[in-house]
């Protein structure tokens, strides 16, 4: 297992170096959003309209943070279960989104789209929202403020910790783990 320190936005070449099980530390900007925001984005795409944000080369963190305490950039920012975005992810990947960060497994369709469009799925540790928020230096709402905690945010991160679950080659850390401990 390798370790990668990456800066966003990312390219196909950066994604190509990552394999399931690798550790990744992200510095730069991440988009943040959950299912309500994803639905709005995909509805715009289906209507042939422009998105309110540029997703090409970006990574999106599936999170709905709690309000920030005084002097803090963000509140607790633990990952949301990713399958809730599975019906929206393939179309966003087709438009240049390079990765997503959440918790839990992805659907077959999302895994196939990651291979086709050269993208990755990273996991962040569930239940560690307060710890994760320490990697977030700033947070700004960039679209859909009416969604409150589910608004799309751009957060500036430094050494944001993740693990590659699905790589662009079809590698799946969760499936590999199941095989390793399967009893014959």
Which residues belong to the active site?
38
- Residue of 181, 162, 178, 176 lying closest to 22 (CA atoms): 162
Residue 17 CA, chain-centre distance (Å), reads 17
Burial of 183 (0-12, 13-18, 19+ CB in 10 A): exposed
SS3 26: strand
Strand partners, 29: 156
Rounded-to-integer distance, Cα 92 and Cα 42, Å: 8
Which helix (H) or strand (E) is 128 found in, with range? none
Contacts 24+ apart (CB under 8 A), 105-109: 105/165, 105/174, 106/82, 106/165, 106/166, 107/83
């Amino acid at each position: 297992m390798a370790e990668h320190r990456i800066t966003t936005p990312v390219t196909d070449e950066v994604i190509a170096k990552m394999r399931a099980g690798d550790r990744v530390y992200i510095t730069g900007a991440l988009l943040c959003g959950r299912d309500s925001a994803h639905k709005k984005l995909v509805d715009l795409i289906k209507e042939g309209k422009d998105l309110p944000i540029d997703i090409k080369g970006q990574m999106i963190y599936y999170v709905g943070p709690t309000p920030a305490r005084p002097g803090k950039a963000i509140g607790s920012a633990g990952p949301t279960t990713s399958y809730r975005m599975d019906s929206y992810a393939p179309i966003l990947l087709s438009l240049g989104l390079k990765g997503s960060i959440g918790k839990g497994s992805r659907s077959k369709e999302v895994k196939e789209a990651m291979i086709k469009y050269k993208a990755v799925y990273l996991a962040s540790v569930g239940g560690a929202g307060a710890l994760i928020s320490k990697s977030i230096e700033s947070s700004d709402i960039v679209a859909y403020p009416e969604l409150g905690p589910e608004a799309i945010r751009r957060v500036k991160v430094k050494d944001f910790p993740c693990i590659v679950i699905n790589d662009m080659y079809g590698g799946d850390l969760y499936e590999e783990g199941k095989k390793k401990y399967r009893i014959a």
